[in-house]
Chains A and B, each alone.
Chain A
């Protein structure tokens, strides 16, 4: 630290420049990470929230809810097979709804209508109102984001192209699916909505889209073979099967990866060039007794200090940006995410300094003794 801080102070502008680059890179990294997090929440929150480890689909549906139709009767068969602790069926349906009494078409809301068995582990807890019951009515619990659209408990929603209305009895939180807010309904009524067109159930008895399974270490192939016409995916595979999820996530991860590599190079090269410039100086210090460790510590602590300050400023800027982003933007920063990317950036910076450290160990103290000048 002795050398590190003194040099930082003495060559403020030089280090301010590289610090600025690091600030901008970390700012961008945090924004992208927040965006990626926001998008994946929007796309798969309901799947991520659910307390299940595996998902059974129709054979050949390639882990997609929308391609899969199986019978709810399989739930009992699945529960009976060895490793499965519990199972619950689920159906999804994309719809456009409009609050009853509102005429303005611009108030229409796209939603995911999800059918679940009331009381099963798939039904999320309500934060307001009542949970679902096995009833005769089209009663639903909806994601709390619909409050922003002026929807309250007791309101009814018209579904486009369907002549029954939904009665809102409760709110759930953080439930989105397929980039749309989730609406939960009992399976019986979900079926009525989803398979409204005659014959669209393809003759399957009590059709659902998928059955979620609880149980650790289920042997996917064995289970799929034991029962006719199903395939079994892990929750992770199921999430990747949500349309657009893999692509979105992949793009953002790739950008983040590139940014980290770029920052490693920028910092690495900057300090390497600086080290080359200072070769003679390091030689002198070695001649008067500095060990490699002493000089390496100086450079590593310098980079660490610079990185911590820059990343810190980057974090402040990111929260500043988050505060002014429009509310509807899929941007979700949580402190663990910010913290983990901050650590990654720091580690990348420090690792990039190792080239310079290697260079230092090779500098010959002979340089100090009036020979090489």
Chain B
């Protein structure tokens, strides 16, 4: 079954003194293709930890994480980076564009990681950038973009390899509310039209209308929030 599946996932951190901090406690969740799920919670509740496990950046302490039928627990680090490249699109914070690549190259570098860049890749990248309203800024460097434009570039980049899973960590954190709406709308639109399974961490309750489900995370437990 494609999409994202968490089966009884527990994650704890061990500090130097040997005390255990349980961040995720027996969490189970399924996100189907075409679904956009929001995760909210107070600071330090484990939202980023949860997303990192879903994105194969962090290992669960126990339980199973299955991404597109691949069980993450059994992969080597090389396989993990290949999985991230092929199946997962991350939308990370604004500052996380590569400073010396122009908007178009930000997308093409993802293809380059796999090998050659073809003319079709270029056309696809331009298409994606048109979708986020950046067709006029292909040759601009991040330093000359506004915060919203950078974030939209990051969104387009997340879709570049046509991944089945989209993960976004506070994609609207540094944006004003008008831009924030635009960005989330874009993500939601992409997820629906391209049939992706997506998880978005956010603080912003106004964005819930774009999401299929909202989960609240607290004391390591994941609870469905009634909208």
Contacts and interface: CB of A to CB of B under 8 A. Distances in A.
Interface of A: 2-3, 6-7, 9-11, 280-281, 284-292, 294, 364-366, 368-371, 373
Contact of B90 (A11, A280, A287, A291): A287
A6 B100 contact: yes
7 contacts: A10-B99, A288-B89, A289-B110, A291-B78, A366-B52, A368-B57, A368-B93
Interface in B85-123: 85-86, 88-90, 92-93, 95-101, 105, 108-110, 112-113, 117
Nearest to B160: A288
B29 interface: no
A302 to B, nearest CB: 11
Contacts of B158: 288
A369 B55 contact: yes
B35 interface: no
Contact of A369 (B52, B81, B89, B110): B52
B48 A371 contact: yes
Given A11-B100, A290-B81, A368 B92 contact: yes
B57 A369 contact: yes
B48 A289 contact: no
B164 interface: no
Contact of A281 (B51, B57, B82, B98): B98
Contacts of B93: 368, 370, 373
Contacts of B90: 287-288, 368-369
A3 B109 contact: yes
A281 B84 contact: no
A287 B96 CA distance: 10
Given A281-B99, A369-B92, A289 B169 contact: no
B124 interface: no
B100 A369 contact: no
B174 to A, nearest CB: 11
The interface size bin for chain B is: 35 or more
B153 to A, nearest CB: 12
Interface string B55-89: 10110000000000000000000100110111011
B81 A289 contact: yes
A294 B81 CA distance: 11
B48 A288 contact: no
Contacts of B5: none
Nearest to B91: A288
Contact of B48 (A9, A287, A370): A370
Contacts of B48: 369-371
Contacts of A281: 96, 98-99
Contacts of A373: 93, 95
B5 to A, nearest CB: 20
Nearest to A281: B98
B205 to A, nearest CB: 19
B18 to A, nearest CB: 22
A2 B109 contact: yes
B161 interface: yes
B149 interface: no
Query: Which 7 A-B pairs rank lowest in CB-CB distance, beginning with the nearest?
Result: A289-B85, A10-B100, A289-B84, A284-B96, A7-B100, A2-B112, A291-B81
